[in-house]
Amino acid sequence: MSVQFGILNLDGKPVRAELFEKVLPMIAPYGPDGTNSYIKNNLGVLFCAFHSTPEAVRETQPHMSLRSGATLTWDGRLDNRAELVRGLSESVTSGAADVSIVAAAYERWGKDCFEKIVGDWALSIWDQNERTLFLAKDFAGIRNLYYTVDNAQVTWSTILDPLVLTAGHTFGLNEEYIAGLLMDYPGAHLTPYVGIQSVPPCSYFSISAHRQSTRKYWDFDPRKQIRYRSDTEYEEHFRTVFSESVSRRLRSHAPILAELSGGMDSSSIVCVADQIIAQGKACPPRLDTVSRYDDSEPNWDERPYFTKVEEKRGRAGYHIDVGAQQKTESAHEGDYFRATPDSSAGPPPPNDRFIEHVRNQGYRALLCGIGGDEAMGGVPNPVPELADYLIGVRFRQLASQLKKWCLAQRKPWMHVLFEVIRDFVPRTGLPEPLKRAPWLRSDFLKRQRRTFFEKYRSFALFGPRPSFQSNLSTIAAMRDELGFKSPDRFLCLERRYPYLDRNLLEFVYAIPGEQILRPGQRRSLMRRALRGIDPKEILERKRKAFVARAPMTYLANDWASLSTLIHQMALNSLGIIDSEKLLEELQKARSGEVVSLPHLLRPLVAERWLRSLAPWKVLNDLEPCNKTALQSGADARSSVQA
């Protein structure tokens, strides 16, 4: 992904060029293909390029649009290029760079162009004629775009670091962000820093000298429904939209890497991509795979499955022994600023040898299977579909499907029906995840009650069908997860997600739920539609095993350091958690009792991140009450480095 940083003085004061000299070293590692800066009067933009499509090599940014008087900076991949070029044929050609097509779209439709742009993108537009700045983001929020407004100055960036480190003041810790982190993921519009916002997915932020607002430009249509007479028609339609989604993400002038875990999501991406390339519908220089395994983990036996895909392809991919990797420390661990908890653990799972492999092979894009479980029925949950029958007074279908699901799940029909009815009843007590977190302080729960309960809504009686409401909740959770992810400064790879394609999800959300998921058959539509494309072993395999030993091993091996960490927790001093109760729960987990271990590890992630910020002095909430605890963490890190 390319990186943009910009400053706009709404009062007309000129932008100081020396600030760009401080920002450039922070963002340059993410954009190795050249830097360009533009400063004119009250506007300044710094752009570091990362070329991931053939057309990007020819673009110059920021892009000046003479007709509209707009300055555009674009980080993204435009998927519906052909469609937009046909509608804008008088001003752009098929070989134009994505940013040029987007500029022409803005000239034609103004801010209404955002809903017409399909792909993964973050866009800033300074409209000189309207004297308005627009910051917009794709529908899923795959690209980050942060901003802060300080008096008459707006600063924005696709990387959080420069907004924090060049602000000239400290920030309050955003409790709503921490609340989201402790239970699941923070809201996609949040950052850890009070005063710095993230543009929400599927939305744009606009600001002028007199007003500012954030608005949605598009959303899924609950009225859209697709109904066919036969399963075959649904399967054909799915193959079409899924192939289009994968094909869009094969647009590259450099070799592409694809994750291949052995599960149906990643395997289907690779197999469909091979078919597309063989048919000449996409022509990347090469498509390779990367697979992870761990022979020390008995619950993780993926090699028999990803090797089946490799056999079908006729070549092996790059294999990473995760077990061996965990025993070595990366040379890329260093004393750098970790803007978010996601970036607090240093380099991501790929080890140093893999980073070197990616650089040597020249990969620019990584195909990821994230979103497949959620979109394609990977988690069996019949409640939304049954709720559709109930609310639609279709009792015959309800009785028929209820019987099938009861047999498949081996549950009494009254039990399943109760689950359906219960999801229409407003929730009053604590959500189940909060009941498993007694270490959260009651005052913090009260302060963040809305944050905690927002994720556990009941179905609305009046409104879209329950299955559509469930789909919206699912995509909202995915947006939060994507917003939490930080770009990797060590491994320049643009992550692409075929299961988060806008057109694919529109199709999935419009068809009957029984096509996606059937009693006793997860991913029913995928399994039927991809016969002959995926290996038989992939289509017929059971649900992938969940790896559960690693957290327990972590507790056993690092108990001494964890105990010290917990006794000096910043989160305890801030009134967020009760460290003694947290220690009690961890001791239960260590002794083999059933506890929610993933939730127990969340405060440890947050705590280590807070301690990593101590030398940078960017959070005012941590001083002076937690100075000792944070300094101990900094001293410990210094001793390790020494």
Domain of 138, CATH number, reads 3.60.20.10
Q: Are residues 80 and 195 in the same domain?
A: yes
* pLDDT, position 353: 83
pLDDT of residue 64: 93
Q: Element (H or E) spanning 75, and its range?
A: strand 70-78
CA 157 from centroid of its chain's CA atoms = 17
pLDDT tens-digit series, residues 66-101 = 777 899 999 999 999 999 999 999 899 999 999 999
Q: Are residues 510 and 593 in the same domain?
A: no
Q: Which letter does DSSP use for residue 285 in this model?
A: S
Tokens 């090599």 found at = 57
3-state helix, strand, coil in the chain (%, to 5): 45, 15, 40
Look at residues 540, 561, 579 and tell me which one is the last residue of a structural domain: 540
Tell me if 191 is assigned to some domain.
Answer: yes
**428-439 average pLDDT score:** 79
- Residue-averaged pLDDT of the chain: 89
- pLDDT the model gives residue 368: 96
Beta bridge partners of 156: 6, 147
Two tokens, residue 291: 């697979």
Q: Clarify whether residues 112 and 187 are in a common domain.
A: yes
Residue scoring higher pLDDT (564 or 277)? 277
- Tokens encoding 231: 């399963």
At 570-610, the pLDDT tens digits run 999 999 999 999 999 888 888 877 777 778 888 998 999 99
Find the CATH number of the domain harbouring 532: 3.40.50.620
pLDDT at 568 over 90: no
Sheet holding 494-496, edge to edge: 318-321, 287-293, 256-259, 365-367, 494-496
Return the half-sphere exposure (C-beta side, CA atoms, 13 A cut-off) of residue 278: 9
pLDDT for 343: 60
pLDDT of residue 336: 81
Report yes or no on 439 lying in a domain: yes
Single out the residue in 459, 477, 495 at which a domain terminates: 477
Distance CA 528, CA 532 (A): 10
Q: Which burial class, exposed, middle or buried, applies to 126 when counting CB atoms under 10 A from its CB (0-12, 13-18, 19+)?
A: buried
- pTM for this one? 0.92
Q: Are both 125 and 183 inside the same structural domain?
A: yes
| Residue 223 belongs to a domain | no
Beta bridge partners of 577: 440
User: Do 626 and 499 share a structural domain?
Assistant: no
Nearest-angstrom CA–CA distance, 270 and 272: 6
Q: Round to whole Å and give the CA distance between 252 and 233.
A: 31
- 235-247 average pLDDT score: 98
What average pLDDT does range 543-548 have in this prediction? 54
Q: Domain for residue 398, yes or no?
A: yes
Structural domain containing residue 558: 549-641
Question: Are 152 and 48 part of one and the same domain?
Answer: yes
pLDDT of residue 244: 98
Taken as a whole, the chain contains a residue count of: 642
Give residue-wise pLDDT tens across range 288-316: 999 988 777 666 678 899 999 999 999 99
How many Cβ atoms are within 10 Å of 457's Cβ, its own excluded? 12
Is the same domain home to 8 and 137? yes
Q: What is the C-alpha end-to-end distance of the chain, expressed in Å? A: 34
Q: How many CB atoms lie within 10 A of CB 538?
A: 22
Is 283 in the same domain as 331?
yes
The predicted pLDDT at position 544 comes to 55
Is the same domain home to 472 and 484? no
Confidence class for position 623, pLDDT limits 50, 70, 90? low
* pLDDT at position 563 over 90: no
11 and 57 share one domain: yes
Verify that 171 and 246 share a domain, yes or no. Answer: no
224 within domain boundaries: no
The predicted pLDDT at position 184 comes to 86
How many domains are contained in the chain? 4
Q: Is residue 221 part of a domain?
A: no
The strand pairing partners of 598, in sequence order, are: none
Q: Which pLDDT score, from 0 to 100, does residue 329 have?
A: 47
CA distance 42 to 208: 13
pLDDT at 454: 78
Contact, 113 vs 99, CB < 8 A? no
- Residues 87 and 137 placed together within one structural domain of the fold: yes
Answer yes or no: is pLDDT of 345 > 70: no
Confidence of residue 428 (pLDDT cuts 50, 70, 90): confident
Tokens of 106: 């803005």
Instruction: Judge whether 223 and 519 are in contact, CB under 8 Å.
Output: no
CA-based torsion, 599, 604, 605, 609: positive or negative = positive
- For 480-536, the pLDDT digits (tens) are 999 998 888 888 899 999 999 999 999 999 999 999 999 988 899 999 999 999 999
* 360-417 pLDDT, tens digit each: 999 999 999 999 999 999 888 999 999 999 999 999 999 999 999 999 989 998 999 9
The answer on pLDDT for 637 being more than 50 is no
Answer yes or no: is 225 within a domain: no
Quick check: is 281 in a domain? yes
Q: What percent of the chain has pLDDT over 70?
A: 91
Boundary residue ending a domain (462, 477, 492): 477
Alpha helix (H) residue ranges in 249-294: 264-278
Report yes or no: 257 and 363 within 8 Å, Cβ to Cβ: yes
